[in-house]
Amino acid sequence: MAAIYITRWPSAPMAGGRPWRIVLDKTTVAWIEPTGGDVMLQVDEGRHKLHLELSGLLRSATVVFKVRDGQTVHFSCMSKPYRLLFPPFWLFALLFRDTWISLRQFDPTEEGAWGRG
């Protein structure tokens, strides 16, 4: 068995302050709160696809990753609330719906790796 560890950085309560779904391989496996927190999930060894989703309209980009048996892969995520301040972005966000929250993989052993998504 392997694991993924997702850290959510606290942010302004956009989108009603609702929790985001963690979607692994097209299946909702957990939720992460907008106020921040950590989620650790057991996964099978192999290639996976991960994204966060609030609704069909609001989501992160999909991250494709591989994990080996016994390995833990780390991710961080953070909302992008500043986007709502610019009206032209609303149209952009409707066309590119994976821009509402960042999701990135990182190596926690690297200096500065715990930086925000």
On whether residue 83 sits in a domain, the answer given is yes
**Does the residue 111 lie in any domain?**
no
If one counts every other C-beta atom within 10 angstroms of the C-beta of residue 107, the result is: 8
Residue 107 has φ and ψ, to the nearest 5°, of -105, 110
The answer to whether the beta carbons of residues 101 and 77 sit under 8 Å apart is yes
Helix (H, G, I), strand (E, B) or coil at 92: helix
Tell me the per-residue pLDDT of 72-117, one tens digit each, with 9 for 90 and over: 999 998 876 555 555 666 666 666 666 667 888 888 877 665 544 4
Instruction: Give me the sign of the Cα torsion angle 41, 47, 52, 53.
Output: negative
pLDDT at residue number 117: 44
In a domain, 12, yes or no: yes
Please answer whether residues 16 and 100 qualify as being in contact, where contact means their C-beta atoms are separated by less than 8 angstroms: no
In a domain, 76, yes or no: yes
The number of folded domains in the chain is 1
Q: Which domain holds residue 10?
A: 2-106
Is the pTM value of this prediction over 0.85?
no
